[in-house]
C-alpha cells in the first residue's frame, strides 16, 4: 500500500511540474518495487487457496443450507457465461435427439432380428416336423414347433401338440419336456439332428443305434421312410447297431443300392477290433453252398444242402416282404418272418 502511495505522489509531482518528467528514475524504482510485491502476493495467494478450499467448501454447504440458497452459486456461474450456457443447451438437445434416434434404431433392429428368427425357426420347425412324422406318424401327441421364448434372447421352447382327434385338430400346446416320454424325447432329438444335417447338406451322417429297444414299433418307419428320405437327399448313412433284425432288414431292403454290411468284433483286446464284411444276401448263401457241394466229403454235401435250404427260405422271405411293399405296406421287413420254416414261408408265398 505504501509503494502505491509513493507512486501516486510521484505521478502528482510530474503532473504539477512537467519539467520533472525528465527525472523518472524514482518512479521506475517504485514500479519495480510494486511489481515485486504483486508477484509475492500472487505466490502467497496460491498457497492460501489450497489451504482455504476445505474450509470454504464446508462453510458454503452450511451457509447454503441455512440461507436456502443451495445451487445459487452454480446459477451465478452460468449467468456469468451466457455463451457457454447456449452452447451447452445446444449440445444437450443434440445429445437427447441422438439418444432417441439410437433407441429407435435399436428397436427396429430388434424387430428385424425377431422377424429373421421367426423365419428361421419356422423353417426349422417344418423340417423337424417332417422327420418327426416320418419317425412317429399318426400320433395324437406330436412335435408342434420350436421357437424363441417370448421376452428372452437365448432361450428357445419346444412345443408339443396334444389332440384327441385323428386329424390333430384343436390341439393343446405344451412344453415337450412336460408331456413327452423318454422314447418321444429320443425321437425328437433324432429329428432335430436329421433336420440340421440335411439343411447343412451334410455328405454323410453316423447313427449309433438310433432306434431304442423300447421303440420296436417305430423301427420299421426308420428303416423305410426315414432312410429312404435320407438317401434321396444324397446323404450317405453309416449305421451302427447291435440289433440283428435291423441289420437283416436293411441288408435285404437296400440290396439294390449295394449296401455294405460289416461286423465289428473284439475277440481279443490285445489283437484289437476286427471288421468283417458280413453281407448276408441270397447270392452269398448260394456261393457258400456251391463251395460246400463241390467238396468230396459227404458231410460237406450235407452242409451244402442245409445252406441251400437256408437260401430257399431267404428267397421266399424276400419275395414275401417285397410283395407286401409292392401292395403298399411300406413297413414290411424280412425280419417279420424270423422263425418261419421253408414250408411256412413257401405256403405264405
Q: What is the pLDDT along the chain (349 residues), one digit of tens a residue?
A: 566 667 677 667 766 666 666 666 776 777 777 778 778 878 888 887 777 778 777 777 776 666 666 666 777 777 788 888 788 888 989 999 999 999 998 888 877 777 777 778 788 888 899 999 998 888 888 898 888 777 766 788 888 888 888 778 888 888 888 889 888 888 899 999 999 999 889 899 999 888 776 577 788 888 888 998 999 899 999 998 888 788 878 877 787 677 788 877 776 788 788 776 665 556 666 666 776 777 777 777 787 787 787 777 777 877 888 888 888 887 777 777 777 766 665 565 5
pLDDT value of position 310: 77
pLDDT value of position 284: 65
pLDDT value of position 67: 65
pLDDT value of position 344: 67
pTM of the entire predicted model: 0.53
Neighbours of 208 (CB within 10 A): 9
Which among 283, 346, 288, 289 is positioned nearest to 317, based on CA atoms?
A: 346
Q: Which helix (H) or strand (E) holds 16?
A: helix 2-16
pLDDT value of position 204: 93
Neighbours of 195 (CB within 10 A): 21
pLDDT value of position 53: 77
Q: Give exposure, 29-44, as e/b (b: 16+ Cβ within 10 Å).
A: ebeeeeeeeeeeeeee
Which among 288, 319, 284, 282 is positioned nearest to 305, based on CA atoms?
A: 288
Which among 230, 265, 263, 237 is positioned nearest to 248, based on CA atoms?
A: 263
Name every residue whose Cβ is closer than 8 Å to that of residue 331 and which is 6 or more positions away in sequence: 220, 221, 224
- The domain limits of the chain are 2-79, 82-200, 211-279, 281-349
Which among 324, 292, 314, 315 is positioned nearest to 305, based on CA atoms?
A: 292
Q: Which residue has the cell 441455512?
A: 66
Instruction: State how far the Cα of 185 lies from the Cα of 24, in Å rounded to an integer.
Output: 109
pLDDT value of position 252: 74
Question: Phi and psi at residue 161, in whole multiples of 5°?
Answer: -100, 135
187-234, pLDDT tens digit by residue?
A: 899 999 999 999 889 899 999 888 776 577 788 888 888 998 999 899
pLDDT value of position 191: 92
CB 135 within 8 A of CB 190: yes
Instruction: State how far the Cα of 47 lies from the Cα of 53, in Å rounded to an integer.
Output: 10
Amino acid at each position: 500500500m505504501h509503494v502505491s502511495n509513493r507512486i501516486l505522489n510521484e505521478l502528482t509531482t510530474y503532473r504539477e511540474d512537467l519539467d520533472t518528467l525528465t527525472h523518472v528514475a524514482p518512479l521506475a524504482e517504485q514500479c519495480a518495487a510494486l511489481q515485486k510485491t504483486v508477484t509475492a502476493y500472487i505466490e502467497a495467494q496460491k498457497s492460501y487457496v489450497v489451504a482455504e478450499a476445505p474450509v470454504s467448501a464446508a462453510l458454503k454447504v452450511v451457509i447454503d443450507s441455512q440461507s436456502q440458497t443451495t445451487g445459487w452459486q452454480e446459477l451465478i456461474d452460468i449467468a456469468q457465461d451466457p455463451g457457454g450456457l447456449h452452447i451447452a443447451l445446444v449440445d444437450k438437445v443434440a445429445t437427447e435427439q441422438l439418444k432417441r434416434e439410437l433407441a429407435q434404431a435399436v428397436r427396429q433392429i430388434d424387430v428385424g432380428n425377431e422377424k429373421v428368427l421367426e423365419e428361421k425357426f419356422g423353417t426349422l420347425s417344418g423340417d423337424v416336423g417332417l422327420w418327426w412324422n416320418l419317425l412317429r406318424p399318426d400320433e395324437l401327441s406330436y412335435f408342434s414347433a420350436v421357437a424363441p421364448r417370448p421376452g428372452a434372447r437365448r432361450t428357445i421352447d419346444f412345443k408339443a401338440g396334444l389332440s384327441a382327434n385323428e386329424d390333430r385338430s384343436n390341439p393343446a400346446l405344451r412344453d415337450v419336456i412336460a408331456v413327452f416320454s423318454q422314447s418321444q424325447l429320443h425321437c425328437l432329438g433324432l429329428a432335430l439332428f436329421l433336420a440340421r444335417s440335411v439343411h447343412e447338406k451334410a455328405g454323410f451322417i453316423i447313427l449309433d443305434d438310433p432306434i431304442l429297444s423300447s421303440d420296436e414299433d417305430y423301427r420299421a418307419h426308420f428303416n423305410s421312410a426315414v432312410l429312404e428320405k435320407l438317401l434321396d437327399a444324397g446323404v450317405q448313412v453309416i449305421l451302427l447297431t447291435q440289433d440283428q433284425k435291423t441289420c437283416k432288414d436293411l441288408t435285404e431292403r437296400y440290396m439294390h443300392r449295394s449296401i455294405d454290411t460289416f461286423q465289428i468284433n473284439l475277440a481279443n483286446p490285445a489283437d484289437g477290433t476286427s471288421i468283417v464284411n458280413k453281407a448276408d444276401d441270397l447270392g452269398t448263401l448260394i456261393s457258400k453252398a456251391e463251395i460246400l457241394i463241390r467238396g468230396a466229403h459227404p458231410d460237406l454235401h450235407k452242409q451244402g444242402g442245409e445252406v441251400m435250404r437256408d437260401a430257399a427260405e431267404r428267397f421266399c422271405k424276400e419275395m414275401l416282404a417285397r410283395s407286401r411293399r409292392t401292395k403298399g405296406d411300406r413297413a414290411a421287413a424280412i425280419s417279420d418272418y424270423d422263425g418261419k420254416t421253408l414250408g411256412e414261408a413257401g405256403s405264405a408265398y
